Amino acid sequence: MRTRLVMGNWKMNGDLQANQALLSTIVRTVQAEPSIYQKGQIVVCPPFPYLAQAAQSLVDSSVELGAQDVSVATSGAYTGEVSASMLKDFACQWVIVGHSERRAYHGESSEVVAEKAKVAMTNGLTPVVCVGESLSEREAGRTLAIIDEQLKPVLALGSAVLAKLVIAYEPVWAIGTGLTATPEQAQEVHAFIRGQLTAAGVGHVQILYGGSVKANNAKSLFAMPDIDGALVGGAALNAEEFLAIAAA
Ligand code: PEP
């Protein structure tokens, strides 16, 4: 039985005051209604400077902390980078790697993404590896070929690493656009990913869907057999909306 997972990717949003309000509402609500919110796992991923604030707010909460990226290096002359051990120092248990915004704006290749997943895993963090096709790739009928290409270096990491990661399918055309893949479109890709994972001996790995998930579409997405939860962007900045997705 795969457990449900809902992760909030705050991206480069927030400030001390707004974060505090968001975190307090999430923590309070999850604590007050364990039968709704503690059946699965909820994770929040603030920007790096706010990890300490979030870690403090989440002490004694079932809500866990994640980061939005990690360096492939362990320490040294890598200006602007943050290592996996630094994330561990701030109580992170999760890290997103290969988000389409990192791939697009920072030129991260699928090989670098796989390396980040390995470094995260080696340091005791659960990597959430994002894959997804662009609109032109979908329109050209290349969706599954693109997912296959992006997954290849990750699958090559071997079952010891694969057993401990999460995959997030995030069609680029659905991220922040208000366009969501239909449950059937998402399921088709999730089933393909599940097939690849099963062939690699790790069919139990959770596969999240991401791309304009909202309270009003979460239930139908989560009803699909290979969708184990969501990676939520914009809607994760609104406590009520995020909690409604988690409740779904
Ligand atoms: C994301 O950035 O991972 C994401 C899914 O964003 P949104 O929910 O805003 O589409």
- Planar angle of CA 175, 189, 157, nearest 5 degrees: 95
At 1 the pLDDT is 78
Q: Would you kindly state where each structural domain of the chain is located, as residue ranges? A: 5-247
Atom of ligand 1 nearest to the CA of 230: 5
Atom of ligand 1 nearest to the CA of 11: 2
Tell me whether residue 233 is annotated as binding.
yes
Q: Which fold has domain 5-247?
A: TIM Barrel (3.20.20)
As a whole number of angstroms, the distance between CA 55 and CA 66 comes to 10
Q: Whose CA is nearest to atom 3 of ligand 1?
A: 233
Residue having the nearest C-alpha atom to atom 4 of ligand 1: 233
Query: What is the pLDDT at residue 173?
Result: 95
So what's the pLDDT on residue 178? 86
* 9 annotated as ligand-binding: yes
Q: What's phi and psi for 42, nearest 5 deg?
A: -110, 135
* Ligand 1 pocket test target in 7, 9, 99, 135 with most atoms within 8 Å of CB: 9
Closest CA to 168 of 194, 132, 201: 132
Residue nearest to atom 1 of ligand 1 (CA): 233
AA identity, residue 230: A
Q: What pLDDT sits at residue 204?
A: 95
pLDDT of residue 194: 98
Q: How far is the CA of 248 from the centre of ligand 1 (A)?
A: 17
Q: For position 210, what pLDDT does the model report?
A: 97
Please report the pLDDT score of residue 38 as a whole number. 86
What number does the ligand 1 atom closest to the CA of 213 have?
Answer: 8
For residue 36, the CA-to-ligand 1 centroid distance in Å is 23
Tell me, what amino acid is at 134?
S
Q: How far is CA 240 from the centre of its chain?
A: 19
Greatest CA span in the chain, whole angstroms? 48
Residues with CB under 6 A from ligand 1: 9, 170, 175-176, 210-213, 231-235
List, in sequence order, every beta strand (DSSP E) within the chain: 5-9, 41-45, 64-67, 92-97, 126-131, 166-169, 207-210, 229-232
Q: What is the predicted pLDDT for the residue at 179?
A: 86
Q: Which residues are catalytic?
A: 99, 170
pLDDT in tens, the chain (248 residues): 799 999 999 999 999 999 999 999 999 999 999 999 988 999 999 999 999 999 999 999 999 999 999 999 999 999 999 999 999 999 999 999 999 999 999 999 999 999 999 999 999 999 999 999 999 999 999 999 999 999 999 999 998 899 999 999 999 999 988 888 999 999 999 999 999 999 999 999 999 999 999 999 999 999 999 999 999 999 999 999 999 999 99
